[in-house]
Structure 1
Amino acid sequence: MTTYDDTEENGMNERGALLDFPGADELATAGHVEPLSERTLARVLAEVEAAVATEGAAGAKAGVVAVTPIRRLTGRRRALIGLLAMAAVATGVVTYANNGTSSAGTHSEARTGTAAVFLDDISTVAASQSASSGKYWKMRTTVGDEYISQSMDEYVVSSGKAAKKGRHPDWQFGPKDLDWNGLDQLTTDPAQLLALLQTAPRPKSISPFDQAASLLTESPAGPKLRAGVFKAMAGLKGVKLVGQVKDSTGRGGTAVEFAEAKSVGQVIVDPKTSAILEYTFTWTAGPSKGKVTHHTVLSAGFTDKIG
């Protein structure tokens, strides 16, 4: 029996040959992406082979095109594949997996796209969640348990004892400062929400991305409002899909981020429930350069009592 040997004439094995093209290094370091579905992978390979066949058709006899296997590509054909790889890196296309079953149905196929595609899908997941209510909004974080009352009083529980912390700040949203009741009066239309986020900033206002992230992370917004805010975020310029990551506790999720002049904000979302797992704020310039703040939410929901 002959042992299979994938070494080419130039001494490269198959993996080395596949990565022997311009842009391979950039592609390898572009970040982790989830495996493509069989259907998507087949389509991509078909497009690559078609491109190779087209390139090699020049000078061939009419009606006769020989397609060379990818691992045997050399010269101009490797350069062609390199251009395709470089295009993938340049456009920032990554994949995310929306796995699991929710009331919206089963999502198992990896998707390729941008932040807008991901946020649009998450909007659908958010809208499918059940509406609920209660006297308090409770967030269990890595720091402790926090409660917000309908009158915006904030409480913390430490060593089993509850203490009033003060009044929780209203949530900024464009020109509005929203308390608990204000959330119910806010439009849920994505276009109108985006218009609010894009209004001229007020003194000391946080960025539109931070406004949306804060409302989604900390407020008792209902399913329809959360769905609208996710879609509005998709319309913000500069929002980037990072892909699958892990938060500071090791939970997996999908991250989107927004870079400003001196900082980067990143939100990690559970694609099965639309819940915000963690919001990270990183200073990239100024006296606080390098400082990173994590707000990690272990669970959130309504309750009728503290403790």
Structure 2
Amino acid sequence: MSPYDDVEQTGMGTHGAKESGMDERATLLDFPGADELMAAGQVGEPSAQALSGALARVGTAAAAEAAGRGTGDVAATPVRRLSARRRVLVGMFTAAAVAAGAVTYANAGAGSAAPTGTGTRGETRAAGAGVFLNDMSTVAASQSATTGKYWKTHTKAGDTYLSQSMDFYVMNDGKAYKKGRRPDWQFGPKNVDWKGLDQLTTDPAKLLQLLRTPAKTNDIAPFDQATALLGDTPASPKLRAGVFKAMAGLKGVRLVGAVKDSTGRGGTALEFQEARSLGRVTVDPKTSAILEYTFTWTSGPSKGKVTHDTILSMGFTDRIG
């Protein structure tokens, strides 16, 4: 039996069964990203290991759901509640499918969320920036929330540590040196520190509204603000999911497609063209982690200058060193 087979008993009998089945299917597919997932067309068979891992995640969640609601209460449980649970499971399966490599992305135009091309076995239809960002929202939300005293970032230049009070440390020859207080992150009109991240809304629409609100200094573009929060802060999975979805509403975001960063790691790149610069972020589609950010000046005295920020790993830790 698949997760789709436990059709609710509504007491209608056989009369109206067809209509009930259609309603059930519509309810089942009522979750963010369903349209994009269906539009992706047929995909090639993932490896046995990838498929096993994806199904194991869904099976575990299904078992937990069954254990949580007990037995014998299915008929008494409202359809709305069961459908909500099922949407969560299907959302998890969407994330697992992305992680298994069953979805690929290609450029479909700036900010486009409409799939293009034709889907055949062994390949998928191309998806635009909006589809990719919404998929990354689902993947980000599926990550486990963790905590720690410090936020560690491992880059090609070395390791840095950030304390909850925004004290900044760098490692040099195995020793930690305090470099002062790190500036807060800019997000629209707000300047957010570590504690402020937990107070920031996670609602995608409100996050998009903040990104569209001019900053006090107006020196950091909305795309860059969102990228910094995703790749440079200890933001929760829920907040990262909201930011990815908010980015899908920004105009001018273009999906580049599959690329390799400066270390050879594979990812999916997005670009955002500004009046005097071009920003590119490379994302690991399996984890939603930011791999690399590239900033290129396209005009002015610094024209042609390129800055790379490559993140090898990041996460919480309870000690420095």
Q: TM-score range by the shorter chain?
A: 0.5 to 0.7
Would you say the 8 A contact 1:267–1:279 is kept in 2?
Answer: yes
Aligned residue in 1 for 2:224? 210
Q: 2:163 aligns with which of 128, 140, 149?
A: 149
Structure 1: how far apart are the matches of 2:262 and 2:172? 22
Q: TM-score, normalised by structure 2?
A: 0.64
Q: Deviations over 1:133-183 (max 9, x none)?
A: 000000000000010100000000011010011111101001100000000
Aligned residue in 1 for 2:296? 282
Would you say the 8 A contact 2:226–2:247 is kept in 1?
Answer: yes
Structure 1: how far apart are the matches of 2:103 and 2:164? 40
After superposition, residues 32-47 of structure 1 pair within 5 angstroms as: 39=42
Amino acid at match of 1:171: W
Amino acid at match of 1:116: G
Amino acid at match of 1:114: G
Would you say the 8 A contact 2:97–2:103 is kept in 1?
Answer: no
SS in 1 for 2:152: strand
Q: 2:97 aligns with which of 106, 111, 125?
A: 106
Give 1 or 2 for the bigger CA radius of gyration.
Answer: 1
Structure 2 portions without partners, runs of 5+: 1-39, 45-49, 58-91, 105-124
Q: Deviations over 1:75-123 (max 9, x none)?
A: xxxxxxxxxxxxxxxxxxxxxxxx8867532331435221100000000
Name the CA shift for 1:109/1:233 in 2 (closer, same or farther; >3 Å): closer
* Structure 1 runs (4+) greater than 6 angstroms displaced: none
1:203 Cα shift? Answer: 1.9
Structure 1: how far apart are the matches of 2:286 and 2:43? 22
Amino acid at match of 1:238: G
Note the aligned Cα RMSD (angstroms): 1.9
1:201 Cα shift? Answer: 3.2
Structure 2: how far apart are the matches of 1:182 and 1:201? 17
Aligned residue in 2 for 1:249? 263
Aligned residue in 2 for 1:219? 233
1:198 and 2:212 aligned: yes
Percent identity (aligned)? 68
SS in 1 for 2:225: helix
Structure 2: how far apart are the matches of 1:268 and 1:239? 13
Aligned residue in 2 for 1:120? 134
Structure 1 portions without partners, runs of 5+: 1-36, 42-98
Q: Deviations over 1:232-256 (max 9, x none)?
A: 0110000000000011111000001
